[in-house]
Amino acid sequence: MSSNTSTLKLAAKTKLLNGGPLPTVIAGPCSAESEEQMLQTARELQKDSRVTVFRAGIWKPRTRPGMFEGIGTVGLEWLNTVKKETGLLTATEVANASHVEEALKAGIDILWVGARTTVNPFSVQEVADALRGVDVPVLVKNPVNPDIQLWLGALERLNQAGITDLGLIHRGFSTPNNKPYRNHPKWETIQQIRALAPGVPLFCDPSHIAGRRDLLETVSQQALHLGADGLMIETHCNPDKAWSDASQQLTPEALANMLTALDLDSEHVASNEQLQDLRNLIDKLDTELLNILFLRSDVSKRIGEYKRANGLDIFQAGRWNQMVENRLKTANEMGLQEGFVQAVFDAIHQQSMGIQNEVMASGSKVESESQSK
Ligand code: PEP
Ligand code: MN
C-alpha cells in the first residue's frame, strides 16, 4: 500500500495551541516520583502563565534494566491531583495498549509516544489500535535514529486509527557523534518533517537534545527561530535529586528565567552587514575546501592505480593509523575539536577507499576482458 502524507487529514492545530500563549510550554518532571514532588513542581510552574501543560513520565523506558522504570499507575492519580489543584493540562508517555487504557481511564489530557516507541512500528500500531475511536491529542516524538520516514509513519498509523489532533516533538537523534548534545538536533529535520507533515504543530524537547542544563537556552532559541510551536522542558522542584535525567532538568524558577530570556520571534533573520561579510568569507572558504577535496580525490585515484599496478592492498593499516595520529596532533595544536577532525578524516578516508576500489575494479575488468580474448 502506498503511503502519501499529503492524503493525511490532520487538524490544522492541536487543541493545545488554541488560544494559548505562544509558544505552548509543556513542563514537568522527567518522572513522577511522589505526590509531593509532583504537586510542589506543579504549584511553582503554575505561577508562570506561559506554562499550560504539566508533563510527567509514569512508565519510563530505560536503556538498562534495574534502573527506575517509573512509578506506574499511582502516578496517574497524582497527575489528576495536579490538574485539580493547578488547572494545568496533564500529559504522559504511553508505549503500549495497557498504558493507553490506563491513561484514558484516568482522564489524562494529552498523550505522547516516546522516541523508543516511535522506532518500532509494531508498538506504534498497538498504541494506535488502542486509541481507535478516541478523541485525544497525541504528540509523537522522533525515533531515536534519524529516520524521518519512521517518524512520519508513526503519525500516519495514529491518523489512520482516527486520531486527528496530532503533534510532533523533536527530541534529537542518536548519531555516531552527538557531542556536545545528548541527542543530536540535526536542525534541518525540522524543515523536512514540516514539509512532509504540513500543518502539524511541532514541539521541541530541548531537555533530551541537550542532556545538560547549560545548553537548554541555546537549543530552545534555535528551535523557536526555526518556527517551533512549543517547547517540552523537563522541570523538577529539586532537579539534582531527580530519579531520572537529573542533569537536564530545571527548577520552575530557572525555567521562568529562561523563557523570559528567549526571543520568541520565529522570523528572526539576521540581516546586518557584518554578518553578510562573514558569510561571504565562509562561502569563499567552502569553495577552497571543495577545490582541495577535488585535488585530493585525484591523488587518491593515482594512488589506486599505483596499488593496482604493484599488487598492493587498498587499506594499509599502518599508514592509516599514522595518518590519523598526525592529523589529530596538528588539529590539537590548532585548537580544533578532536572528534570533529576525526569525523572529517573518517569521511575523507571512506571516500578515498571508494575511489581506489573503483580503480581496482576497473583494472580487474580490463584484465578479465583481455584474458577472454
Ligand atoms: C521523556 O520524555 O522522559 C523520555 C523518555 O523521552 P524520549 O522518549 O525522548 O527519550
Ligand atoms: Mn527524561
pLDDT in tens, 332-357: 999 999 989 999 999 999 999 999 99
Q: In angstroms, rounded to a whole number, what is the distance separating the alpha carbons of residues 202 and 64?
A: 30
pLDDT tens profile 30-54? 999 999 999 999 999 999 999 999 9
Reply yes or no on whether the pLDDT at 14 is more than 60: no
Ligand 1 closest atom vs CA 245: 3
Contact 126, 97 (CB under 8 A): yes
Mean pLDDT for 120-134 is 97
Place of cell 588539529: 331
User: Are 154 and 124 spatial neighbours (Cβ–Cβ below 8 Å)?
Assistant: yes
Residue-averaged pLDDT of the chain: 90
Average pLDDT over residues 3-22: 52
pLDDT of residue 276: 86
Does a cis peptide bond (omega within 30 degrees of 0) precede residue 180?
Answer: yes
**Ligand 1: residue whose CA is nearest its atom 9:** 115
Domain boundary assignment for the chain: 24-262, 272-372
CATH annotation of 272-372 = 1.20.59.10
Cell 533530551 found at: 208
Does the pLDDT at position 21 exceed 70?
A: no
Give nearest CA residue, ligand 1 atom 4.
114
Per-residue pLDDT band for 5 (boundaries 50, 70, 90) equals very low
Asked if the model's pLDDT at residue 364 lies above 70, the reply is no
Looking up cell 516533538, which residue turns up?
A: 169
Give the tens place of pLDDT for each residue, 300-315.
999 999 999 999 998 9
CATH homologous superfamily of 24-262: Aldolase class I (3.20.20.70)
Query: Residues within 5 Å of ion ligand 2 by Cβ?
Result: 30, 245
Instruction: Give 48-99 pLDDT, tens digit per residue.
Output: 999 999 999 999 998 899 999 999 999 999 999 999 999 999 999 999 999 9
- The protein residue whose alpha carbon is closest to atom 2 in ligand 1 is 30
CA 269 / ligand 2 centre spacing (Å): 32
| pLDDT of the residue at 10 | 54
